Amino acid sequence: MKTLSQVLQDEGWILGDGAVGTALMDEGVESIALPLVPLRQPDVLMNLHLKYLEAGARLIETHTFSANGHKLAALGIDADVVELNRRAAQIARHARDIFGGEAWILGVVGPLAQPVDSQVMPSVPYEQALEYYRPVVAGLLAGGVDGFIVETMSDLPTVRAAVEAIRSETNLPIAVSFAFSPQGTTRYGLSPEEAIEAMASLPGGLPALVGANCGSGPAPLLDAIIRMAPKAKELGIPLAAYPNAGQPGLVAGHVHYPATPRYVATIASALREAGCHVIGGCCGTTAEHIRALQLTLSHAPEPQVLPSVRDITDASASLDVSHSETHDQGISQFFYKRFIISVELDPPRGVNPHRLLDSARVVAEHGADCINIGDSPMARVRLSALATARLISEHLPVQTILHFTTRDRNLMGLQSDLLGAHALGIRNVLALTGDPPGLGDYAHATAVYDINSIGLVKVLNAFNAGQDALGQKIGGHTAFDIGVGVNPNADDLNHELQRFREKLDAGAHFVMSQPIYQPEQLERFLDKMGGLPVPLLLGVMPLVSYRQAVYLHNEVPGIIIGQNILEQFENIQDGTALGIDLALKLMEQLMPLIQGVYLVPSFNRVEPLLPIIEYLRRQDPWQAKVQGEH
């Protein structure tokens, strides 16, 4: 999938979403409870995001307008700002995963409860404003946003503080949006011309987008955009517009926004002509308003609907990659002939696999040999890993490694699924016990665990020998390549070594390690093990930021990140390049000890992995050895 920066540069227009706060109140959420919806009513928020995606929106804003410490305190709310923002971003990402199509998440950074550095009214000092915004940015980044929108702004010092807080942590694209009244100025008297003029002096330079939202209905907002357009064109900044559904009024005791979807859509063409690349809706707009904008902007005769799995799989030509035949052999045919590169992708949380297939295509085109597919990792419901593996193998000339857990199936169902996987051409299985349900969305669900991962290896070996778990004939022999996991960072390394030896004795063919970040972590494990009798794929998850590194080190079991690495990330904005460099150095040092890697993308973004895949393909030590022998 393209980055948001690429989309903003390449696309003629992209559709934003509609109102969040007023839409949540329409669902029965009280206004005072709105800021805490991501923590208290995540399903309601998730469903709202999905409605906008299904209506055609491709930019989804997080529900974090009031999620800063200053605003929350003014509302009498005590909350963990980082966690509130992280959770809101995560919910938006999960909605996108369920939707399955291309979409990008904008982290909303709203105003404080008072202006910043005002000379005429009570205000927040600039340095204090920065401190209020830093945890907002940290939480949104931890949640995996693709960019930021500093929105509903009325004064320039607040904009500068928000932008500086963002740019001190990341170089993701930023949109800045002002709220203009029907009289043509913001609450603190800023005109559209003054707002656009000030964009060149923001910390770090021009934003990716500038525009207007809220404050007024479609007609006054269009006027503000037209006034901003000449300077925006001069500066080369695309515009964004999110009008309200008219001016609100009270009808039967309820706030009512009068502008219909059809009326809001009438200004879409004029907004495009004025230079708007992003058009969505603000207060009072609904999924119907967004659908109307989509129809007007695309000239489509009928609303776009979410494509079915059949539509996607039938349209295989769109992947632009020839189909692969069913593999009679698994990954073992490549070991010691080439350095194996696999990429781990999580199945979508809904029925649409388009985004996953696109990511798989991209990494395959850049040289990946395999895609390894999680089996509802972290005990969260996702599309079947088996079905995902089959979809990938139908469209792409790559091997798949099916993660298969014993958590969800009794011994009978487990064997049935494995036989079905073999019939569908799946040859590589990573035998796992699986995360307990208590970690995920269905804490009340019953875990099965008739057998553990060691028992699963034994079942797979029995199939390869032509028998089931009871020794009964199955009418042939399967050809599974059996993988197992190992954690070189285990707290009780002796216990981990014992279990690993049991997996080898049960018949494992290859091993995949937990992600590591320092060579000595693997070297210590191998020394205690006395070497490995089977090929090893090293787990590598390139870091992208200091906050991600701290989170992984402190909160994810099995991952240890040294202080020397944490210090390198601590004072840089965007750690993507550093993460790639450290990952390459790690792999180069360990190359003599491993037969391949599996790369784990942060937030399912495969683009940062592409330079690593290309480099490893060029430096393949096994290819060099084979060529030398000839």
**Binding-site sequence positions for Zn(2+):** 214, 282-283
77 contacts 89 by C-beta, under 8 angstroms = no
C-alpha distance from residue 554 to each of 89, 334, 477, 560 (Å): 20, 36, 45, 8
Q: Whose CA is closest to 34, among 84, 82, 90, 99?
A: 84
Cβ neighbours of 162 (radius 10 Å): 31
CA distance 138 to 578: 19
Q: Which residue reads 């553990």 in tokens?
A: 452
Which residues, including other chains, have CB under 8 Å from residue 431's CB and lie 6 or more apart? 404, 453, 456, 457, 460, 482, 483, 484, 503, 508
Q: Is 256 helix (H, G, I), strand (E, B) or coil?
A: strand
Token representation of residue 470: 């009871």
Q: Whose CA is closest to 404, among 368, 430, 440?
A: 430
Cβ neighbours of 524 (radius 10 Å): 14
Burial level of 424, CB count in 10 A (0-12/13-18/19+)?
A: middle
Which residues, including other chains, have CB under 8 Å from residue 335's CB and lie 6 or more apart? 510, 535, 595, 596
**431-440 burial code (b ≥16 CB/10 A, e <16):** bbbbbebeee
C-alpha distance from residue 167 to each of 8, 134, 207, 343, 476 (Å): 18, 10, 10, 30, 61
Q: Whose CA is closest to 267, among 236, 289, 234?
A: 289
Q: What is the CA radius of gyration of the chain?
A: 26
Alpha helix positions (H), 168-267: 192-197, 218-235, 261-265
Token representation of residue 466: 């032509």
**217-249 burial code (b ≥16 CB/10 A, e <16):** bbebbbbbbbbbbebbeeeebbbbbbbbbbebe
CA distance 467 to 460: 9
C-alpha distance from residue 605 to each of 106, 570, 572 (Å): 15, 22, 20
Token representation of residue 95: 């909605």
Binding site listing: 214, 282-283
